[in-house]
Amino acid sequence: MITIPKLEMHVIDACNLRCTGCTHYADHGLRGALELQTGRAWLAAWGRRISPLRFSLLGGEPLLHPDIAGFLRAVRLTWPGTELRLVSNGLLLPRHPELWGVLADTDAVLTISRHSRAARYLEQFEPVLRLARERAADHGVRLEVRDCVDGWYKLYLGAGPAMLPYATADARRSWKACQTKHCLTLRENALWKCPPIAHLPSVAARHGLAPDGPWGPFLAYQPLDIDASDDAIRRFVGRQDEPICQMCPTELRTFEKSITGAAAAW
């Protein structure tokens, strides 16, 4: 069993918010949800190979998935000693009153992301957060609130079909600047270096980004297969910068993001 620091998995690509520049591309109108049976199979397979110190379920917005409770139970069954986290924007929590018991039973941390200081957003977010604090206290669930307002940035140029990689000449500097470099991702029953590369094929399919165009070198990336040797897994986990890091900027340019949702723009 190979111990790794951190692992995360999308249960759904769709999101109820669209935050410009999301590193998981949730602002690109992606669709698709991971079936619970498929997710269980991936977890069972990798559960025989690796042991993450922390495992996060996220999206998109994981509370859009009808089987999110099943995913929490599946991860806990696979790795009983792993710190388990559910990462959500929190706005859909009122639709899942049963979730608090599952979070308590699986000893999972609920991480809620705050995405704006705009009044219209806070009118919806703050009542949900107050309720979450109450329910977390009632059930003994650990609750964290993560600031996702300050320090927001984009990892590519342009938007939609016209989006472009930075294609820098300095992979090392890009890797050092990256805020997702420790977010090893489980997708398609393989390990991917980070969320931007793991979910890039979905964005390419959505916008028709050609493999023979600027995105070609990055779309050619090969994740680590389940049949990889133990040595290959150790090398993969320990690797720092590599050519695909050139996809992203060497310097993060922060900005005040815009957010849209199903019913409102903030």
For the segment 5-32, the average pLDDT, to the nearest whole number, is 93
What pLDDT was estimated at residue 258?
Answer: 77
Question: pLDDT tens across 156-205, in order?
Answer: 999 999 999 999 999 999 999 999 999 999 999 999 999 999 999 999 99
For the segment 195-220, the average pLDDT, to the nearest whole number, is 96
Considering only CA atoms, which of 244, 249, 240, 179 is closest in space to residue 215? Answer: 244
Q: How confident is the model at residue 255 (pLDDT cuts 50, 70, 90)?
A: confident
For the segment 89-101, the average pLDDT, to the nearest whole number, is 96
Q: How confident is the model at residue 259 (pLDDT cuts 50, 70, 90)?
A: confident
What pLDDT was estimated at residue 266?
Answer: 37
What pLDDT was estimated at residue 127?
Answer: 96
Identity (one letter) of the amino acid at 159? A
> Could you give the percent of the chain with pLDDT greater than 70?
98
Mind spelling out the 3-state secondary structure of 214-245?
CCHHHHCCCCEECCCCHHHHHHHHHCCCCHHH
Helices (H) and strands (E) in the chain, counts: 9, 10
> Could you give the percent of the chain with pLDDT greater than 90?
90
Query: Six-digit token pair at 86?
Result: 């559910």
Which residue is associated with the tokens 């009122």? Answer: 94
Q: How many alpha carbons fall within 13 Å on the CB side of residue 55?
A: 27
Alpha carbon distance 251, 238 (integer Å): 23
What pLDDT was estimated at residue 41?
Answer: 98
Give strand pairing partners of 7.
55
Q: How confident is the model at residue 264 (pLDDT cuts 50, 70, 90)?
A: very low
What pLDDT was estimated at residue 26?
Answer: 92
Diameter of the chain by CA atoms?
55
Residue ranges of alpha helices (H) inside the chain are: 36-47, 68-78, 99-105, 119-139, 171-177, 195-198, 200-207, 216-219, 230-238
Considering only CA atoms, which of 240, 235, 230 is closest in space to residue 49? Answer: 230
Alpha carbon distance 38, 57 (integer Å): 15
Question: pLDDT tens across 109-158, in order?
Answer: 999 999 999 999 999 999 999 999 999 999 999 999 999 998 899 999 99
Q: How confident is the model at residue 23 (pLDDT cuts 50, 70, 90)?
A: very high
| Domains assigned to the chain | 2-261 (3.20.20)
Residue 28 has pLDDT above 90, yes or no: yes
Query: Six-digit token pair at 55?
Result: 């495992």
